[in-house]
A = this chain, B = another copy of it.
Amino acid sequence: MPASEASAERPRADVVIEEIDGASSKEAFLSAPDKEIHGQFLHRVQQMLLDHAFQSTHRESKVTRYVDPDRLREIIDMNLRKEPASEEALLSYIRDTMKYSVKTGHPFFVNQLFSSLDPYALAGAWVTDSLNPSVYTYEVSPVLTLMEESVLKEMRSIVGWSDGDGIFAPGGSIANGYAISCARFHKIPDIKAKGLHGLPRLVLFTSEDAHYSIKKLAAFEGLGSDNVYPVKTDARGKMDVLHLRELVQRAKAEGAVPFMVSATSGTTVLGAFDPLEAIHEVCEEEGMWLHVDAAWGGGALVSKKYRHLLRGIEKADSVTWNPHKMLAAPQQCSTLLTKHKTILAECHSASAQYLFQKDKFYDTSFDTGDKHIQCGRRADVFKFWLMWKAKGTDGLEKHVNRVYENAEYFTEKIRRRPGFKLVLEEPECTNVTFWYVPPSIRGRDNEPEYNQKLHKVAPLIKERMTREGTMLMTYQPLKELPNFFRLVIQNSALTTSDMDYIVSEFERLGRNL
């Protein structure tokens, strides 16, 4: 039966829209873009987007235009109303939303473990929105399913695995949660059906500098945050393997079952890389799953120069790696990779017959959704795939080398500069942590109130940079250390001149403190 026969029967949009209740397609509640009605609106939005994309990354523009919440509610009418807004009003909401949002693609947005605005990735994100897909079956997302397969396979290959499995997750925290889920299922497969009830207490280990998601997800998954035993770190922020061994023995003596170590490659604050080979030895001896949270530091794997920092990662059972961090893909793009080929499906499948029908006409192994704890799932792959195509793996490597060069330049620059003090003398990642010591307390580090005074400096400088909009960089305390700043470089459009600017900006913001 030719398809043309069907086409002949199809109602034409412009005719039928007006048939029903005298409604016209101009009605605001109809959800389908029409060239005549919405063409100009969408075109104007696109023009605003182009302007914004180019301007928001310019050094001459502000990183942020801070206003207090009450004032912001006056500027943008946040309330939702019964009546539709005009297109002019909508355009002004878009304009103001852009104006008062933080420019995360700006070179001086160095506040988080994500930043930058890659033009090819941005194009990929726009395309994804236009497709409005959900990735769970080949039938509904054929292209994106194969792209996920390709990206995850290539990432596993970079980790060092010729086989295995992987998934995209909505962020590194949930990717770490998947690892915990796989690890305990690997130990006790009955957990899926029976739960933790009646089992011995299960304990996992991670360093005290690890990301908070390990505790958060352990609580969410019913293990309890107390059953994440914090392993001490050494002076460089790396997991102390002797202490890990002690804690494992302690847990066993308590009658608990150690089942997992979550090592970190690139800790959130200091950028430390845990010693994976030594940790793997402990895991082997004790029958524990080795997970590596390389959400941040995983990017170094694409660089011949820096991948040694993750030596031994191929011995891990699972790896969290977020391309939206060091590789500068857009938020969000997170993966959980594992060398175990079937565990993600075994551990998480529910085999719902209304979505994963087995009597389809094609090979249903391409219906990958049942590995996930999400059902409907936004596609995070295309933007990254397109960016990877645009740069090539060589381009990703150059990108990583460049961000390292900038971080190293910055470190050297402040190493002996008056008023600056490094927290780590030799940072291993592209986070550089430091105190800015204002003139008023400089050289007084033997005085009793020094640390309290220094602790208050960072919030003050942060307030000034935020209100002026000249830069955004985060600060935090760490254990007994007073507040210090953390520069994070993952935007390769930055240059050594930008590093110079950041130094001088601290001196300007802090000089009268």
Contacts and interface: CB of A to CB of B under 8 A. Distances in A.
26 contacts: A11-B497, A19-B497, A20-B402, A29-B402, A30-B492, A31-B117, A31-B492, A31-B493, A38-B119, A42-B119, A52-B130, A69-B366, A72-B146, A79-B154, A81-B393, A96-B143, A100-B142, A101-B131, A102-B141, A126-B126, A132-B331, A170-B378, A173-B375, A174-B374, A196-B223, A212-B355
A220 B348 contact: yes
Contacts of A391: 28-29, 84
A117 B132 contact: yes
B98 A328 contact: no
Nearest to A123: B45
Contact of A202 (B78, B181, B197, B463): B197
Q: Which of A54, A127, A362 has the most chain B CB atoms inside 10 A of its CB?
A: A127
Copies of this chain, how many?
A: 2
Nearest to A223: B195
B219 A7 contact: no
A311 interface: no
Interface in A110-149: 111-114, 116-127, 129-134, 138-144, 146-147, 149
Given A221-B221, A269-B354, 9 more contacts: A31-B399, A81-B393, A102-B133, A111-B139, A172-B376, A334-B376, A354-B474, A361-B462, A378-B378
A13 interface: yes
A382 to B, nearest CB: 7
A196 B197 contact: yes
Interface in A1-51: 1, 3, 5-7, 9-13, 15-17, 19-20, 23, 25, 27-35, 38-39, 41-43, 45-46, 49-50
Interface stretch (A229-237, A241-249, A438-446, A499-507): A499-507
Contacts of A45: 123, 126-127
A301 to B, nearest CB: 14
Q: Which of A15, A102, A462 has the most chain B CB atoms inside 10 A of its CB?
A: A102
What bracket does the count of chain A residues touching chain B fall in? 35 or more
A352 interface: yes
A50 B36 CA distance: 12
Given A30-B493, A84-B390, A501 B220 contact: no
Contacts of A138: 69
Contacts of A64: 139
A359 to B, nearest CB: 5
Given A196-B222, A386-B90, A463-B361, A49 B127 contact: yes
Given A45-B127, A222-B221, A389-B90, A143 B76 contact: yes
A334 B170 CA distance: 13
A117 B33 contact: yes
A104 interface: yes
Contact of A195 (B13, B96, B130, B222): B222
A278 interface: no
Interface string A326-350: 0010111010000000000000101
Contacts of A54: 33-35, 39
B94 A127 contact: yes
Nearest to A475: B357
Nearest to A393: B82
A206 interface: no
Given A17-B493, A39-B50, A89-B389, A226 B195 contact: yes
Given A38-B119, A226-B193, A373-B217, A395 B84 contact: yes
Interface stretch (A55-63, A283-291, A413-421, A422-430): A55-63
Contact of A505 (B9, B25, B491): B9
Nearest to A379: B331
Nearest to A181: B220
Contacts of A218: 195
Interface string A354-395: 110101111100100000011111100010011011111111
Nearest to A100: B143
Given A193-B219, A463-B361, A105 B80 contact: no
